A = this chain, B = another copy of it.
Amino acid sequence: MAVIPDAGPAAWLDELRRRCAEHVHGFVTERVREHFTGRAAGTPASTALPEFVAGGKFLRPLFAYTGWCCGKPDDEAALRSAAALELLHCFALAQDDVMDGSERRRGRPALHVRFARWHEAESLGGSAERFGESAAILAGDLFLVWSEQLLRSSGLPAGILARGWPIYDHLRSELAVGQLGDLVNEARALPAWGDVLDVVRRKSGNYTVRRPLEFGAALAGCDEQVVHALGTYGGLVGEAFQFRDDLLGAFGDPAVTGKPVGDDLRERKATTVVVLAAELADRGQRAELAGLLDLDVVDTAAVERWQRLITATGARDQLEKLIDERVHHALEVTDLADLPHQPADALTTLALRCTERVR
């Protein structure tokens, strides 16, 4: 174990992230070697897939492993189990980017774009775009399969894994159903605040923070009081995380987000920022908003009009306030739960890391 027990929470989390990245990169490299033979071997999958899974922030594994550490000491098999959640996240990213038509991910071309470019470079017949989308969907399917396989073969005894399966199963279905809810919301002119919050809870709140924490705590056999505190923290920080994500999607610096400025606005996503702006808008602002929603193409000038309008309604300030309140409340809850100091400190660090403006 390379972890220094007395390291500060940031160093502890960075070291865990490094080990998680090693686990998923190694596992996916093995799977790619096993399966990408024959016709599929020539595609960029063999290099793109291992690279893709190791390139993230590993928030979900870090939350899961923090949950584990609330009940049990450092354990490499438990960390591998936690790392399985990163592959689940990669599944979601690969497929969501196709569905949302997102061209970039983590400052690089999205997976479907990489596959499409390969198709073009090889001068294959048919639509390169269509091929890229299908290949990225299949890459996502493989990540979904491999996540479960990594978890099952993590090295944790079956009896311990049995405590985690119900949450893992729930999380997987909730993620896909949440994405469907998101598509329904996007498809409507503008959903109500309550509908957006419902999807936020399922897709991000639960999936990014709450379920991973509960999953780790369940594996570790934590008592009910701890699980309850982690669940409350997870719900609050998860929502705050999504609010920040939506603010970054509307106002964020491309250097930070790895995406074009105002990407969510260009894609006409019905995010919390946009829906809250609609709820807070006065009559004149509402008319201007309707005009923006009707645009066929959202260019840079339109993005800037969107941004000014959202700010003018007060939605931006209001979301900042909601973020602060949620983080504050979450930290109060975990302070009272009498957790071991290392995971307790990590929860504070992670809550801030998830919701900070320059994330």
Contacts and interface: CB of A to CB of B under 8 A. Distances in A.
A299 interface: no
Interface stretch (A130-138, A219-227, A255-263): A130-138
Interface string A284-296: 0000000000000
A183 B145 contact: no
Query: What are the 8 A-B residue pairs with the smallest beta carbon separation, nearest first?
Result: A39-B181, A124-B187, A99-B134, A40-B181, A40-B180, A38-B198, A35-B177, A145-B172
How many copies of this kind of chain does the complex include? 2
A112 B169 CA distance: 25
Interface in A34-53: 34-36, 38-40, 42-43, 45
B137 A181 contact: no
A177 B178 CA distance: 27
Contacts of A125: 186-189
Contacts of A144: 141, 144-145
Given A39-B195, A176-B141, A184 B34 contact: no
Interface in A103-158: 119, 124-126, 130-131, 134-135, 137-138, 140-142, 144-146, 148-149, 152, 158
Given A95-B141, A142-B176, A173-B142, A187 B126 contact: yes
A76 interface: no
A148 B146 CA distance: 12
Interface string A67-110: 00000000000000000000000010001001100000000000
Given A99-B134, A99-B137, A152-B165, A199 B126 contact: no
**Interface majority SS on A: helix, strand, loop or mixed?**
helix
A324 interface: no
A357 interface: no
A137 B180 CA distance: 10
Interface in A250-285: 268
A174 interface: yes
A313 interface: no
A202 interface: yes
A124 B177 contact: no
A124 B184 contact: yes
A184 B99 contact: no
A8 B201 CA distance: 54
A31 interface: yes
A196 to B, nearest CB: 9
Quick one: which of A126, A178, A180, A181 has the most chain B CB within 10 A?
Answer: A180
